[in-house]
Structure 1
Amino acid sequence: MKIAVLGTGGGGRAHAAKLLELGHDVHVGTRDPEATLARTEPDMMGNPPYRQFLADHPGIHLHAFAEAAAAAELVINGIDGANALKALTAIADQLADKTLIDYAVPYLYGAQMEHPWPTPFGTMPKLDPCDTDSLAEQIQRALPDVKVVKSFVTQEQDTVVNPEAIAGGDHTMFVAGDDAEAKKTVTELLDSYGWTDVLDLGDLVAARGMEMYAHMHGAIGMALGMGNHFGVKIVRR
């Protein structure tokens, strides 16, 4: 399948590498390909320059966002939450009639808060939107011709593409969306990643819960010690 991954951070790299390994035709989108290829220093998360990533993964194609989306049948959104809506709206024509998997968290960094949450890494960012809306729903309203599915967001992306790294894969991934066939496509991709427990949460409104879970995920991560990845298992009666 021709699949676009929008974003060149650690999460996008994890998906691009795994999809290539699985035999897909992988097209990565970035804001400015020339600028991305010109970087010679690690990014803010310590990832090596993207030119090195491409050299290590021959066969991945790098484009601007629009060209990557146009080349694909399925699109994975790894653009940061603060910029995702604007970036995706700008390429609406290239996304039309396609399934878009959104795993962005709508974090607002540097926001003034009455009761900030201090962490060892600075103040926990604010979720915006929250409670009465979600980023995934905003994307769906802005792009009515796109089939938006929220998934991947409750895990580190390295674990999404390799669930067996945690408890041999015995944990749960979630999907939510308004189009049944689109959710089926996403579930099949998760199956190919190695997920054996995928729970359909229903319509896209459930993305609110997945996005808000980001704070809980952060709290658990800090309690366990950052870098100690974990999974969440839904235990049925």
Structure 2
Amino acid sequence: MKIAVLGTGGGARAHIARLHELGHEVVVGTRDPQATLARTEPDMMGNPPFGQWVADHPGVELRTFGDAAAEGELVISGIDGINAVAALTAIADRLAGKTLVDYAVPFVYNPDIEHPWPTPWGVMPTFDPCDSDSLGEQIQRALPDTKVVKGFVTQEQTTVVDPQAVAGGDHTMFIAGDHADAKQAVTALLRSYGWTDILDLGGIVSARGMEMYAHLHSAIGFALGFGSPFGIKVMR
């Protein structure tokens, strides 16, 4: 299958490498391919420049967001939450009729709030939207002709593509969306990654809980030691 991955950060790179390993044809989307390849400094998370990384992954093609989306049979969006709706709306015609997996969290960084949550790298972001809406729902409303699935969001992407890294793979992955066939396609991809416990939470409205879980995910990560892989299991 030809799969488009939109984004070049650490999470996107995890999917790109794993998909390539599984034999898929991978095309990568970025805002400005020339600017992305010209960068010589690590990104905000300390990842090496994408041009340096992609040199070690021959066969990966870099396109604009729109061109990559047009080529992909399935699209994985790693666009950061604050920019996702605008970036995806701009290429809505290229995404029409396709399944789009969104794993972004709608973080607002450096919030000016009364009771900040200090973390090792500054104040914990807040969510916008929160409670009465979600980024997943906003994307689906903005792209009515696209089948949006919220998924991968309750895990670090390095664990999404390698679930066996935690408890031999015995933990739970969640998906949500309004289109059964799209969720079946995403479930098949997750099974190819190695997931055996995939829980469908229903419609895209369930993206609210999945996105807001990010705060608990962070708290668990801090407790275990930042960078320690972990998962959660729904016992039933």
Asked whether the two chains share a fold, i.e. TM above 0.5, the reply is yes
TM-score (structure 1 length as normaliser): 0.98
Aligned partners of 1:119 and 1:70: how far apart in 2? Answer: 39
Deviations 1:11-51 (A, max 9, x none): 00000010011111101000110001001122221211111
Q: How does 1:1-16 map to 2 (within 5 A)?
A: 1-16=1-16
Aligned partners of 1:74 and 1:5: how far apart in 2? Answer: 9
Aligned partners of 1:232 and 1:106: how far apart in 2? Answer: 21
Give the match's secondary structure for 1:56: coil
Give the match's secondary structure for 2:55: helix
Question: Where does residue 208 of structure 2 map in the other structure?
Answer: 208
Question: Where does residue 219 of structure 2 map in the other structure?
Answer: 219
Deviations 1:41-73 (A, max 9, x none): 222212111112211111110001000001111
Note the C-alpha offset of 1:111.
Answer: 2.1
Q: How does 1:80-229 map to 2 (within 5 A)?
A: 80-229=80-229
Note the C-alpha offset of 1:129.
Answer: 0.3
Aligned partners of 2:142 and 2:214: how far apart in 1? Answer: 23
Read off the aligned partner of 1:10 and give its amino acid letter.
Answer: G
Q: Identity rate of aligned residues, in percent?
A: 73
Note the C-alpha offset of 1:114.
Answer: 2.0
Give the match's secondary structure for 2:69: helix
- Structure 2 unaligned regions, length at least 5: none
Q: Does the 8 Å contact 2:81/2:107 carry over to 1?
A: yes
Give the match's secondary structure for 1:133: coil
Give the match's secondary structure for 1:199: strand
TM-score (structure 2 length as normaliser): 0.99
Give the match's secondary structure for 1:234: coil
Note the C-alpha offset of 1:158.
Answer: 0.2
Read off the aligned partner of 1:89 and give its amino acid letter.
Answer: T
Aligned partners of 1:92 and 1:38: how far apart in 2? Answer: 27
Note the C-alpha offset of 1:182.
Answer: 0.3
Give the match's secondary structure for 1:27: strand
Q: How many residues align?
A: 236
CA RMSD of aligned residues (A): 0.7
Deviations 1:118-174 (A, max 9, x none): 112211001000000000000000110000000000000000000000111010000
Read off the aligned partner of 1:105 and give its amino acid letter.
Answer: V
Moved over 2 A (4+): none
Note the C-alpha offset of 1:212.
Answer: 0.2
